[in-house]
Structure formats: structure tokens, C-alpha cells
Structure 1
Amino acid sequence: MLKELNPLLHSQLRLSIMSLLLTVEEAEFVYLKEKTQATAGNLSVQLDKLSEAGYVSVEKSFVGKKPRTVCRITSAGREAMAEYVEALKGYFVGL
């Protein structure tokens, strides 16, 4: 029987965000926006969803007068991604 894929991670943009955050210690909002080619509004909404799930921490601050948003994947986010990848592997068994 196939494991159900985590619907929160199965979204293309959220999966892209999580994949990027797995490869870096932290990433600024601007970096994520550039790499995912998402609009600021859509990226913000998806980061909120990941943050509410406890998969990502979002830290907002100011550098001088400029806002700075830094995102990091949490241990729960790493675990969720590992489970997602394992579930996905199940779909390829027997091919």
C-alpha cells in the first residue's frame, strides 16, 4: 500500500522552498523569491503555511531602514521532508 504524500509538501512552490532550505543554513526572502521565481505575495503565503506547520522558522528584522526576512528549516521540517522522500520512493517500487 502506498503512503499518502504530505499535502503540505506536495505543492510545487512549498516543495521548492523546503528543498532550497535543506541546502543552506538560512535564506533571505529575496533569495527564495529569486530562486523559486514566485511573486512576493505567493511566497509570503506559502512561507506562512510552512511556518504554521512548524517546518520553517521566519525571522523578520531591519537592517538600517530596510526590512530583512530570514528563513530556516526546522528539525520538524527536515523530518517531514525525509518522510516525504521515503513515501515518494514507494511510488517507484516495481517500476
Structure 2
Amino acid sequence: MSPGEELGSVMQLDRLVHEPARLLILAMLAGAEEVEFRFIEKLSGLSKGNLSSHMSKLEAGGLIEVLKSFRGKRPLTTLRITPAGRTALDRYRRHLAEVVAGIPTQSIEES
């Protein structure tokens, strides 16, 4: 593969996963059985609305499952990564590693 083709493969990255907030959500979910909305909100620094928007996109893509329940009388939202989400995240990691490996390196001293 030529350097141009290798760099062009950046455009083939899964855009649903590649967006930084969604990648963060998936990475957090990959390490747990399920995670509460408020935990992700606090750790990520995303607003409720922004987090909800990204969750909706991931859920529509089948990458996460959003569970609604109650803790006492208070609503509780938890998220869980799906098997398809784990597969997409793994595929993304491998693809990104290939893209990064194909980026030419040149030190400052060489230029």
C-alpha cells in the first residue's frame, strides 16, 4: 500500500466510534458490565444533553444498550456495551493502529 493509500484509510475509520465523546463512552463501557449515566457525565465532563445525544447515536447503531430503571423513587439510567459494540471498538482499535503505523515519521533533525 502506498503512503497515500495508507493515509487515505483515515477516511475509512468508523465515524460512529471515531468521534471523541463516543469513543470515550465506549472505552468506559468496555471495562465494566454497566455504567451509570451520572458516572459517565462526571468523568467525561460532557453536559447531560451532549451525553444523551451521543448515547442515542451509539444506541441507534446497536453499539450500546441504554437501561432505564429506578433507584428508590429516582430514575436511573445505565449503559452497557453490546457484543456489536465490543466488535466495533476492537475493529476501530486495529484500524487506527494500522493508520498510525502508516504515517511517515521524520524527526526534526532530519528535515
TM range, smaller chain: over 0.9
- Aligned partner of 1:91 in structure 2 is 99
Return the offset for 1:61: 1.1
How many residue pairs match? The answer is 95
Give the TM-score, by structure 1 length.
0.94
> Identity over the aligned pairs, expressed in percent?
38
Q: What is the RMSD computed on CA atoms of the aligned residues? A: 1.1
Deviation at 1:38, TM superposition (A): 0.3
Q: Provide the C-alpha distance between the structure 2 equivalents of 1:20 and 1:62, rounded to a whole number of angstroms.
A: 22
CA distance in 1 between partners of 2:26 and 2:93 (Å): 12
User: Which one has the bigger helix percentage?
Assistant: 2
State the SS of the aligned residue for 1:70: strand
- Structure 2 unaligned blocks of 5 or more: 106-111
Q: Secondary structure at the match of 1:91?
A: helix
1:1-95 matches, cutoff 5 A? 1-2=5-6, 3=9, 4-94=12-102, 95=105
| Structure 1: stretches of 5+ with no match in the other structure | none
Q: In structure 1, what is the Cα distance between the partners aligned to 2:23 and 2:100? A: 19
The residue aligned with 2:109 is none
Deviations 1:39-65 (A, max 9, x none): 001001100100010000000011222
Deviation at 1:92, TM superposition (A): 2.3
Q: Which string of whole-angstrom CA distances, capped at 9 and with x for unpartnered residues, describes residues 31-87 of structure 1?
A: 110111100010011001000100000000112220100100000000000110111
